[in-house]
Structure 1
Amino acid sequence: MRNLDLTALRSFVAIAETGGVTRAAGLLNLTQSAVSMQIKRLEESLDLKVLERAGRQVVLSPAGEQLLTYARRMVALNDEIMIKMTDKGFEGEVSLGVPHDIVYPVVSKVLQQFRTQFPRVQVNLRASFTRQLKEGLTRGEYDLILTTEEGVMPEGETLSMARLSWTGAESGTVWRSRPLKLGFSRHCMFRPLVQKVLDREGIDWEMATETDSDRTIEAVIGADLAVCVVIEGTEPPHMAAIQHGGALPEMPHSLINMYGAGQAQSQVVSALAELLRQGYSDLKSGGRTTPLLREAG
């Protein structure tokens, strides 16, 4: 009987889930050549090619696609046994801060993946405003934060660039009125940006309400009393993108940035950061994950 190399299977799964050999090596704390050698040994033991090159990309071969299902199960079962039998699994807490409007869809999916990898680590998720999140990170209240900003500070990294979309009540008409009624909380990073754009375009505006509560803003906009801008694709169910036909100015893009990864003190925080990178990378590529990978490694 031949036995599969579980370490090689783990590297294979990491390549499939992170998008390439380089990222997998970083996640596993191995060199790129070590991961490549493990894949070579895996292919030799099976007498099959599990990865193929397509130009500058790496794809799973048909055999690799089939193997991935089994490999994930074997790695997960191994980790479950080690945790239950040795009680040496990762434990503790990780604090993640995220702006209210980008919790979905990426962050929620990432938290599910993280729980699978680190079932005994508690993620404390806090939704707040970008300015408050950055202040909290400085005070040590968070391990990682995501932000929505026009630019990025030197200690941060940009995960995604997203279009801002005018949003209002479904079938609403308040966007036609002047002065334009705006609905933003006092701390929203988009509020001064929108005001600046409207002033530049000569469009009169006024705030429909003054509040710190995003829930209040959602109620005002849902009642067709105001409009706002949100990152495209994050509109709440009771709101819709406004088809204004040019009556409202085009808005610039917003950056989704991550801070704290460069100062990560643990493998757990680094793993969460890598899952966030991968999540936004998949979102930019239309949700495409394996079998098509992004780098040749």
Structure 2
Amino acid sequence: MLAIPAGLDPDLLRSFVLIAEGGSVTRAAQRVGRTQSAVSMQLRRLEESLGHSLLTRTARGMVPTPRGAWLLERARALLALNDEIVATLRAPPMVGTVRLGTPDDYALQWLPGILARFAEAYPAVELDVICMNSDVLADRLAAGALDMTLLTEGHEPPGMTSRPLWRGPLHWVGSPRHALHRRDPLPLALALAESDCPWRNATLTALSKAGRRGRVTYNSATQTGCFTVALAGLALTVSTPGALPEGLAWLGEAEGLPPLPDMGIVLMRHPASVGEPAADAMASHIIEGFRGALVPGIARAA
């Protein structure tokens, strides 16, 4: 077995773990479908191969010795990895197509590693990835044209399965070579007005509460478009924390800009995709990818 070091039989380890967890050779034998004498023999073989007594009999049943307690924790981890390897390599290849939507900034910030790991684990599954703004993606999901999509919180269509992925503050973004933060009104590059974008509404509301005037001089359906205008020094924009294109910087209190509220990222699934193996696997990879990621300036994903 690839996961078990040389000299350690996974069947012997499994019997040891079952005896230690159940406190009884009888219960362990019942779980593995063998006789008590066969399970006892496996324990003796393991102890002989390692040169240590691993379990001792007490009034409470079989309990690990100090050496056995040390092994028990590691044996559980080895068996879990062993079982994962066997299940993955012996299982028939997963096939199918997953239609995934995402706003372009989330695709750049979050998805490269997630998609790479998914493709490595399920090479026979085809991925159709579409990048659009959240309101368009929400409409496509509701129409059944997508299996799942990342969305900015506030765009969730009714009747879909929702999973929160991340929540944290928006931040100001601009070119450090230009002093746009001193202008009145403040030039802004934000989402299209007709999209009813929560980021746009939150930005204008924050400025109004701080007594600052803002003027949207550039409307874009994508974050890339807003970054392009900010790079040119024509406007400020906002974004969730993460990697910025070269030439842009995070701005904030030092530049006299008001704090921006928290925003969330959610994973929305069409009900028809729930229970489909390929779609379920993709959703799990996305959830784990957000949970394990750390982005500068934000907390670990929920």
Q: How high is the TM-score relative to the length of structure 1?
A: 0.66
Moved over 3 A (4+): 1-5, 44-49, 60-76, 150-155, 210-216, 284-289
Contact preservation (8 Å) 2:141, 2:270: no
Matched, 1:97 2:106: no
Matched, 1:250 2:256: no
- Give the Cα separation in 1 of the matches to 2:246 and 2:76: 39
Match of 2:19 in 1: none
SS at match of 1:203: coil
1:8-87 alignment runs, 5 A limit = 78-79=89-90
Q: Which amino acid aligns with 1:273?
A: A
SS at match of 2:246: coil
SS at match of 1:255: strand
Match of 2:176 in 1: 170
RMSD of the TM alignment (CA)?
Answer: 3.9
Aligned residues: 238
Match of 1:208 in 2: 217
- Give the Cα separation in 1 of the matches to 2:149 and 2:139: 10
Larger deviation: 251-260 or 190-199?
Answer: 190-199
1:1-297 alignment runs, 5 A limit = 4=10, 78-79=89-90, 88-150=92-154, 155-186=161-192, 187=195, 188-212=197-221, 214-245=223-254, 247-260=256-269, 263=272, 264-283=274-293
Q: Which amino acid aligns with 1:198?
A: L
Structure-2 change in CA distance of 1:165 and 1:151 (3 Å):
same
Q: Which amino acid aligns with 2:279?
A: V
SS at match of 1:184: strand
Offset of residue 126 of structure 1: 1.1
Structure-2 change in CA distance of 1:67 and 1:285 (3 Å):
farther
Deviations 1:12-47 (A, max 9, x none): xxxxxxxxxxxxxxxxxxxxxxxxx89xx9xx8988
Deviations 1:111-164 (A, max 9, x none): 112112211001111111111111000111111111112586774221111221
Gaps of at least 5 residues in structure 1 are 9-36, 50-59, 83-87
Q: Which amino acid aligns with 2:285?
A: L
Q: Which amino acid aligns with 1:200?
A: K
Q: Which amino acid aligns with 1:169?
A: S
Q: Which amino acid aligns with 2:141?
A: L
Offset of residue 100 of structure 1: 1.3
With CA pairs under 8 Å and 6+ residues apart, which has the higher RCO, 1 or 2?
Answer: 1
- Give the Cα separation in 2 of the matches to 1:94 and 1:164: 30
Q: Which amino acid aligns with 1:203?
A: R
Task: Report % sequence identity.
Answer: 21
Q: Which has the larger radius of gyration?
A: 2
Q: How high is the TM-score relative to the length of structure 2?
A: 0.65
Offset of residue 189 of structure 1: 3.9
